[in-house]
Every structure is written in structure tokens, then in C-alpha cells.
A and B are shown apart, each in its own frame.
Chain A
Amino acid sequence: MTSIACDTVIVGGGVVGLSIAYGFARRGDRVAVLDEGDVAFRAARGNFGLVWVQGKGAKNPDYARWTMAAAALWPAFAEELAAQADTDLQLCQNGGLSICLNQSELETRASELQALRTQLASNYPFEVLDAKALRGLVSEVGPEAVGAIYCPLDGHVSPLRLLHALVTGIQARRGTLLPGHTVENIIPRGGEFEMQAGGKRFSAGRVVLAAGLGNRALAPMVGLNAPVKPVRGQILVSERIKPFLRLATLTVRQTGEGVVQIGDSKEDVGFDDSTTIDQLAHIAHRAVRCFPKLQNANLVRCWGALRVMTPDGYPIYEGSAEYPGAYVITCHSGITLAAAHAGPLVEWMLGRARFSDIGGFGAERFHV
């Protein structure tokens, strides 16, 4: 069996893997992305599409900074991708809302963000809106909404179009995408890595593990550690309706197609991506309380998807000390961080940026 050689193999064709692959391809690497088949656990295809800043890193200023940096890189990133793939990514970063249905929720959020602002000692923009101010911004909110946090850095994007554009961009740079190629093993050999997938053999000088929940099993093969576990989220989508929601909110957003997405739960249920009526009904109910007119909209589809969660919820960006050239990349907010993953993160793996530039999210924090 001859092996297919390339500069960088990315294991995992979700949004994290494709952002990184795009980043390497853009810098001239020959990349190959190995991914599973038509049906797999794919957070990248089940997510909510928020490019979200507010509340991120409320207890970890490094993560807050990293998220803000990523959000700031998004407009240029989206423009570049759109030009290549000839498709509008429907990026809209005109601010986002966390609508609160009771006063104590609003107060908790406000004081958390206030504490973060103090810690960051920099401009961390947000506003606490009372019911009236909220209604002034989004007239469709229901009487139960007591207020909201508004953050001008927040936004949303179409995850479908993002993925499609990344694929187009990678292929345009002679990158190879190989779905149906589940990586079974990785063998470090003489400074290179050999992999077996889909009955073929691959070799590369660099391997980036971006396999989401699959990283847990793959990382030890190259002397790394990725203690990730699934956290299920359930999402509802409606028929296409006339635009009514100008801003994204944490739980309800309207896409460029007019579809309303409603999310999402956080459930620790293992590898089960099914939906449950109890959760769906709860999510739907909350959405209707925020926006009463949604009760008339038809629900077309619901799904469950598994988030990739580290024990503390922050990313893991780590290079193997034992086998230089091997990296494990894992995070939960792959859409928000996509621009940073294609940019600074790839720069770091190429040795052109410092670890501190990318937040310093090593896995050693889990070695206790």
C-alpha cells in the first residue's frame, strides 16, 4: 500500500478542522482533511451559528480576550471566504442580546459582566437594558421580558455557508477533503506521522487533531491528552418567515433565509444526539415567552447535537512535546473562534506566533 504524502493532515472535517485546514492551505501547505462518513456526531453541523462574545470567559479573562480577538477577525475572514466561494456567509455582527425573563437573571448577568470588565481593565462593551429599552430595540419581545444584556460585539453567521465556503477555499488551494476516511491509528515515525484511514495510508510532517469528541481517543497516540466529553444541545428551526428579529439573541436568532433557530439545552447524556420532547417543549416555551408571535410559526425540524466540552469549558491548544509536529485542537465555540483558528492559531503551529498570543490554553491544566 503506497501512502499519500502531504504537509499537514487534519483529522476532523468539522468547523474547527476546516478552519485550520483553510489556514494552512492559505499559507501554502498541502493539506488533507480526513473525516468520517455521512452520519457522524458533528457539532459543526448541529450548532447554533452565534459569533458570541458576551459572557464568554466570565471567569477567565484570557478566554474573554481570545474570543474578542476572534470576533474582531471575523469581518475580514468572512469577506475573504465569500469572495472565494461566491456565497454570502450571512455574517451579521450588529450586536446581540441575552433576554432575561426575570429580574434576578438580569442582575446576575449584569454583575458577572461588570466583574469581567473590571478584570480585563480594558474596554469591554455591554449595556444593561430595562424592559422599555429592550422593546425600543426589538419591538417583538413579549411582556414577560424584564430586560436584556446588549453587547455590540455579538453576532451570528450561517454555519452551513461557512462550512461550504471553507471547503471551497481549501479545494481551490489544492487541499484534499476525504470524508468517509475515519482515522484508526496514528504512528509517529522518524519525525513524520503515518495514518491509516478508509483503507488508505497517509503520511505528513504535521498532524492536527481536530476530531471533536474523537480527539479523546486519538490524542494519546501522539503523546497528547484531550479530556473532552459530550454535552448535548437541542435546537429547533422554523419555516421561513418575514424578517422580524434584527439582532441575534442567545437563544433565538433569525437566519438570512428567514428561518428562526431556537436553542438550546445543555445536557450531560453521553453519546446520544436524539431529541426529547421535554427539552424541546421547554426550549420552545421559553422562546414563545420571549417572542410571543413565534407561537404561530411552524416548527419544521429539531435536532440534537453534541458539544465538545473540556472539563472547564475552555479550549485545548497543545503541541506534542514527545512528537513535535502533532497538535490537538479542541474547543466548544468553533464558529465564534473560526477566524482565530484560521489565523493566529495556525500561525502558532507554524512557529510564527507565541503561545500567549493564542490565549495559552494548554492541556497541562488538567494534569493534576
Chain B
Amino acid sequence: MFKRMQSPVAPEQDGFELCVDGTPITAQNGETVALAMLNAGIVPFRHTAVSGQARAPLCLMGVCFDCMVEIDGRLVQSCMVDARPGMRVTLLTGARDIGAAE
């Protein structure tokens, strides 16, 4: 849904990988997980627990919670978390399974 700008001066850096539902995507330094996912064309981010509606980010500033994903077992707003190499992101369909405690 988003794309990275073509910079005339700085060529695109190499970036790094994180995993979304098992599929690797590339992120650039400084991108939030939400932005990396938008740039990778991931739509939607989740299906609601109420009716199963598809949702994707509305605000990118931590207000709407439509960007919620599970990252390494924690439910977070992906627009508030910087992407890091090796992160494991899980998209949510309906209510979350909180899994076993570590």
C-alpha cells in the first residue's frame, strides 16, 4: 500500500529481514514494523475479533489500534515499534490465542 521514496542522492540501503506469518519481508533502518509491512504490501493487518472485518493502519501514531499485531508473543501497536532484524510478526484473525506462558 506504500512504497519507499526514490532518493536522488542516497541509494536505497540494503535493509534487513523480519518475518510476517512466516514470510520474510525487508525493512529499512528506522522504519516501524507497520511501515515495513505497508511497504511490503501486506493488507490487511488483522481481522477484528468482533466481526472479522479486515483492518489496516489508520493513524500510524498510536491512536487507533488497527495496526495491532503480535510480535514475538506480545500484542503491540506495530506503528509504535521499530522494526528489528529477525522479528517474528504474527497477524491476528479474531481473538488472540495467548499461548503458553514462557
Complex interface: chain A residues within 8 A of B49 (CB): 240, 257-258
B residues less than 8 Å from A239 (CB atoms): 75, 95-96
Contacts of B99 in A (CB 8 A): 293, 296
Q: Is the CB of B96 within 8 A of A244?
A: no
Determine whether B9 belongs to the interface, using a CB cutoff of 8 Å to chain A. no
Judge whether A84 is part of the interface by a CB distance below 8 angstroms.
no
Whether the Cβ atoms of A293 and B101 lie closer than 8 Å is yes
**Listed residue (A242, A244, A294) with the most chain B CB atoms within 10 angstroms of its CB:** A242
In the assembled complex, the Cα of A257 lies from the Cα of B49 at a distance in Å of 9
Contact of A296 among B50, B74, B94, B95 (CB under 8 A): B74
Q: A241–B101 contact, CB under 8 A?
A: no
Partner of B98, one of A142, A244, A257: A244
In the complex, the answer to whether A258 meets B95 with C-beta atoms within 8 Å is yes
Question: Contact: A295 with B97, CB < 8 Å?
Answer: no
A298 within 8 A of B: yes
Number of interface residues of A (CB under 8 A): 15
On whether the beta carbons of A241 and B95 are closer than 8 Å, the reply is: yes
CA distance A293 to B50 in the complex (A): 22
Residues of B within 8 Å of A296, CB to CB, are: 73-75, 98-99, 101
Q: Which of B73, B74, B97, B100 contacts A242 (CB 8 A)?
A: B97
Bound complex: CA of A258 vs CA of B75, how far in Å?
A: 15
Q: Is the interface of B mostly helix, strand, loop or mixed?
A: loop
The CA-CA distance from A142 to B73 in the complex, in Å, is 19
In the complex, which residue of chain B has the Cβ closest to the Cβ of A260?
Answer: B98
A292 at the interface (CB under 8 A from B): yes
Q: How far apart are the CA atoms of A142 and B100 in the complex, in Å? A: 11
**Contact indicator B101/A292 (Cβ below 8 Å):** yes
What CA separation (Å) do A32 and B29 show in the bound complex?
64
What's the nearest-Cβ distance from chain B to residue A332, in Å? 32
A297 interface hit (Cβ, 8 Å): yes
Quick one: which of B96, B100, B101 contacts A240, CB cutoff 8 A? B96
A257 to B96, CA, bound (A): 12
Min CB gap B63→A, angstroms: 15
Cα-based distance from A295 to B73 in the complex (angstroms) = 11
Cα A298 to Cα B49 in complex, Å, equals 14
CA–CA, A241 to B75, complex, Å?
11
- CB under 8 Å from chain B, chain A span 14-36: none
Contacting residue for A241 out of B50, B97, B100, CB 8 A: B97
The smallest beta-carbon distance between A265 and chain B, in angstroms, is 24
**Which B residues contact A (CB, under 8 angstroms)?**
49-50, 73-75, 94-101
Q: Which are the 3 A-B pairs with shortest beta-carbon distances? A: A292-B101, A240-B49, A240-B95
Known pairs A241-B96, A258-B95, A294-B98; list 20 more (Cβ under 8 Å): A142-B101, A239-B95, A239-B96, A240-B95, A240-B96, A241-B95, A241-B97, A242-B94, A242-B95, A242-B97, A242-B98, A257-B49, A258-B49, A292-B101, A293-B98, A296-B73, A296-B74, A296-B98, A296-B99, A298-B75
